[in-house]
Structure 1
Amino acid sequence: MTERTAGPDLTRRSGLTRLKEGTYGGFFAACAALTLLTTVAIFATLLSDALVFFAEVPILEYLGGTDWSPNPRGGGQTFGIVPLLIGTLVVTVTAAFIALPVGTLTAIYLSEYASSNARAILKPLLEVLAGIPTVVYGYFALVYVTPALKATLFPEMSTFNALSASLMVGIMTIPMVSSISEDAMSAVPDSLRQAGYGLGATKFEVSTAIVVPASISGIASSYILAVSRAIGETMIVVVAMGAQARMPAVSELAFGIPLVNPADVLLDSGMTITVAMVQIAGGDLVGGTLPYDAMFALGLTLFVVTLLMNVLSDIIAERYREEY
């Protein structure tokens, strides 16, 4: 005799039903495959032209060069990506100093302190920031933020500078941090909060010592996604930062320790990787030339960096995800 208990058969045996379910499954699988194939096609397109570029320019010269001049009026072409990486890093780090703490604190307020009515109003209003065209942020930085900073804190600031662009990129990425972090905090079971209150903890202690650590995987993922968004930002830095690839002045401290004055980087113009791509595309570009292929090398660099950031986000989310 078998020990298995016969239970009711809840599956549908209709041939038409199986056909419909199979059609739905195939449609969903096709959508997933289309997304994957699009990513693979973008990578293959970037890689094919980037290989042509690296056949002319050694990859070590590209990664270690300190001069970027793809369309010089005189002299030879140089394709050193270091000044572009510095400009991209400056914008990304400065924007992160704004977006990450402000976005996290906003998420804590929306999740733990705001009433349901206030949350229903404030969260959509906050997410409107993500829908504003980035060129508007750039125009606002150029016309309002830079003159205000020059008139008050930094009179020596250039018209095109990295600080104003970074401030706007940080403001633009706040909704991404706050929305994803708030969703992660709201997913924390109320039983953990009630246990903290039962032990005599205050709302602040519950928020910072229970809710935030329990949702750390979602918060860390929002950080990495926001940084990835800042790395790839284009229009804000095109309008507000300028288009001059430059290496910052390096001085030496005791024992030969190099030092870069942050004001030399933040208060002057610069160029990011995305701006360099726009500048090349806006010139007298001819297909098959070295500057044309350089665009694909820059695009491949951004693609790889963004891919690594997203993979890191998934690893962190999987490693520190709490299951309740």
Structure 2
Amino acid sequence: MPVNIPDTLPAKALLEAENVFVMGESRAMTQDIRPLKILILNLMPLKIVTESQLLRVLSNTPLQVEVELLMTSTHAPRNTPQEHLVAFYKTFNEIKHLYFDGLIITGAPVELIDFEKVTYWPELCEIMDWSKKHVTSTFHICWGAQAGLYHHYGIKKYELGKKMFGVFNHQVLTPKEPLLRGFDDHYQAPHSRYTEVRQTEIDAHPGLITLSTSPEAGVYIVASEDRKQIFVTGHPEYEESTLGEEYWRDINKGMEIAVPENYYPQNDAEKKPLVTWRSHAHLIYSNWLNYYVYQSTPYSLGEL
């Protein structure tokens, strides 16, 4: 089964052109099946780009996945057309009475700002608290992972000496963990962040377990003891061009930024990037959907 999205969402045509199996809502309504309801809190500025990235990796599953897009009401997005937001996004007040099988909280370009100084922090905290009773499992990405670890467990973030930027080798620490089923012992994943969480603080918390780390990039995948919360400090959903677009964007702004590591052949930014993380990206999201959402969620979402 494919991911089920609105017929007019721009990502639908893009993904179909890539031979990704998606289903418009009009066709999905004819199927007698209870789809998984996944809520995506999109905090990224280029929301249409992030939609395509996440829908691409959510589509690689035999389950029908129905996606609802959520934005904050306390911060006005400036890089996404208003008509797109009106047509496809809901605010928390519109959905807080509902229940969902899964929630994805994306990253956001606010890493160097204290959590409490982020304009939508109180609203995000309300959503994260709400998720504990209204969502079967929540998948946090990059800054979203740092925000979730801080809010739920008091894990602090620390500024890095330079941006963690590139594609890095990771190792599996818990090979029998369902989320990591099918992973190679070592695999690649992209990172793009200025801050980190520290292994010592996570190890000291009895409610958290580290599933995977990187010798260079540090903590990568952390799970709550009940597996209802997954924290991923990188961006497995990134497309082939994403790190390069971030690099050239910063170069054109006159910023000092190093070429993303292990991304371009011979670290030559004029060459085509080599994708080494695509299989991992599809696997982590399909494992999450299968083992931590589908296998755990009640048939009637009201039972949550």
Shorter chain as denominator, the TM-score bin is under 0.3
More helix per residue: 1
TM-score scaled by length of structure 2:
0.26
- Rg (Cα) greater in structure: 1
